[in-house]
């Protein structure tokens, strides 16, 4: 079993928690259920639930009816999974700015842990 943690900004905000709370009730329920599956299967989770993006960054793939949501995450020591940010998918390709934000959060988290 893995521990899923929400990435926290220096000001205490948790972007992915805010994102999940902004979803409609059915999508929020599906997203939370997907996070539970991620905690159970961790690095053994594959498509259609999870997909590698780049340099240790993954996306949790959530679909409800015609709505598609993605939540970025990465693995850290001691079976930790850090979820960073999410977005509603409206185009075929994942927006580069969303990936860049997730990579920034990943880098910041790893930097804080080294201190």
pLDDT by 10s per residue, the chain, length 115: 899 999 999 999 999 999 999 999 999 999 999 999 999 999 999 999 999 999 999 999 999 999 999 999 999 999 999 999 999 998 888 899 999 999 999 999 999 988 7
Three-state SS at 99: helix
Domain ranges of the chain: 3-114
Q: Which CATH number fits domain 3-114: 3.40.50.720, 3.30.2310.20, 3.40.50.12780, 3.40.50.1980?
A: 3.30.2310.20
Question: What's the pTM value of the predicted model, to 2 decimals?
Answer: 0.94
Q: What is the pLDDT of residue 23?
A: 97
The number of beta carbons lying within 10 Å of the beta carbon of residue 30 is: 18
Separation of alpha carbons 25 and 112, rounded Å: 34
Count the residues in the chain.
115
Q: What is the pLDDT of residue 91?
A: 87
The per-residue DSSP string of 24-87 comes to -HHHHHHHHHHHHHHHHHGGG--TTTEEEEETTEEEEEEEETTEEEEEEEEEETTTEEEEEEEE
What are the C-alpha distances in Å from 114 to residues 18, 94, 107? Answer: 26, 30, 11
């Amino acid at each position: 079993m893995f521990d899923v943690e929400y990435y926290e900004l220096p000001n205490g905000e948790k972007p992915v928690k805010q994102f999940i709370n902004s979803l409609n009730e059915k999508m929020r329920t599906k997203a939370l259920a997907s996070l539970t599956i991620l905690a159970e299967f961790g690095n053994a989770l594959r498509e259609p639930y999870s997909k590698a993006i780049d340099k240790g960054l993954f996306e949790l793939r959530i679909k409800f009816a015609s709505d598609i949501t993605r939540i970025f995450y990465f693995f850290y020591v001691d079976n930790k999974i850090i979820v960073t940010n999410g977005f509603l998918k409206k185009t075929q390709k994942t927006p580069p700015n969303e990936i860049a934000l997730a990579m920034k959060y990943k880098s910041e988290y790893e930097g804080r842990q080294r201190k």
